[in-house]
A and B are shown apart, each in its own frame.
Chain A
């Protein structure tokens, strides 16, 4: 019975508790990992306020990510996100330097350093805006498919989406960049969000997952024909 429960394949990481049924409530979990399990709710169905546009878009994006990463076992590439995080960290660093310098050397002497920090901060803000508008665009997932033979470079799958304010049409675009030929192919679909959410605000994965798989397969099949 314990073996069957473990093989049930709960992805919530039930490290120390093989006998318990649900991943989120391991009462006998080994201290810290048990607490972490209670905190993470990866398996709980996503329930959000259906009138909140950004929450709806976020839950769609997260579920699409989950499908690609878990079902097709692609590896996520954090390059774009890391770029954004670095720019933000550098900006905050300038602000902290300005704060500390001004505290140590009271105002009139700290003028040149302050001026430098303020200008650098706003320059970084500019860079961040350019980065998010042109490099990141609306891409929220970059995933690699490792070549099984290990010889060719990885294929890259990119997911980007858009949902206009107060609109109900959600557009999801999947881009495939072949590692070998460097060719790029895209597929997208635009559907009303009402097709995937029930009236209490829960995302129905059974309706959403086939859409993603269909997009993915349409790109994968084209590859085989070519």
Chain B
């Protein structure tokens, strides 16, 4: 058998200790998951942290945005909203340009990216000219610069993401507390 010395600790473990190693790994994953879900519940938004792709000069590619989605707050012109177009997966972070508001509070609004020359009508669904409240994922409340570059890298090179996760997982499973 190959002399894989780093596995020595694992080989000496009995069943309970092996189970505990697996549990340890599970708990780390669960903690991360629970923190994410907890944020989802508190902010009310289904994707509370979003990576901005382009909204220069307000946000740069790779900034991490923190969102809330309080339905009671009215949407106003000039606010930066994160919305999702029907049928597309990636949320878009742009600024509100125009709003039409009815007496009963129903809103239709138009958006435009700060760094774009035209408004977003070209991006909307075929035949759609305005966005509504239900398309909104959240409103930007704060941001952390540059940290999102890691996420963009991991999405552009999925093999890198799997390699990192695999190595981390292996390390946690093999290393004894």
Contacts and interface: CB of A to CB of B under 8 A. Distances in A.
B27 A107 contact: no
B30 A118 contact: no
A114 B27 contact: no
B154 interface: no
Contacts of B27: 88, 91-92
B147 interface: no
A44 B9 CA distance: 12
A108 interface: yes
B88 interface: no
B176 interface: yes
A117 B34 contact: yes
A38 to B, nearest CB: 5
B23 interface: yes
Contact of A95 (B16, B20, B30, B177): B30
Interface residues of B, number: 24
A98 B39 CA distance: 13
B23 A42 contact: no
B177 A54 contact: yes
A118 B1 contact: no
Nearest to B16: A81
B8 interface: yes
Interface string B50-70: 000000000000000000000
Contact of A98 (B1, B8, B26, B37): B37
Contact of A54 (B1, B41, B176): B176
A89 B23 contact: yes
A40 interface: yes
A24 B20 CA distance: 25
B40 A121 contact: no
A95 B23 contact: no
B23 A85 contact: yes
Contacts of A130: none
A47 B20 CA distance: 22
Interface in A92-122: 92, 94-96, 98-99, 102, 106-108, 111, 114-115, 117-118, 121-122
A96 to B, nearest CB: 8
A25 to B, nearest CB: 9
A188 interface: no
Nearest to A98: B37
A78 interface: yes
A55 interface: yes
A42 B12 contact: yes
B33 interface: yes
A40 B11 contact: yes
Contact of B26 (A39, A92, A125): A92
A133 to B, nearest CB: 15
A91 B30 contact: yes
B177 A38 contact: no
6 contacts: A81-B20, A85-B20, A88-B26, A98-B37, A117-B34, A118-B38
Interface of A: 38-42, 44, 46-47, 54-55, 58, 62, 78, 81-82, 84-85, 88-89, 91-92, 94-96, 98-99, 102, 106-108, 111, 114-115, 117-118, 121-122, 125
Given A38-B1, A54-B176, A88-B26, 8 more contacts: A41-B11, A62-B12, A94-B30, A95-B30, A98-B33, A99-B33, A118-B34, A121-B30
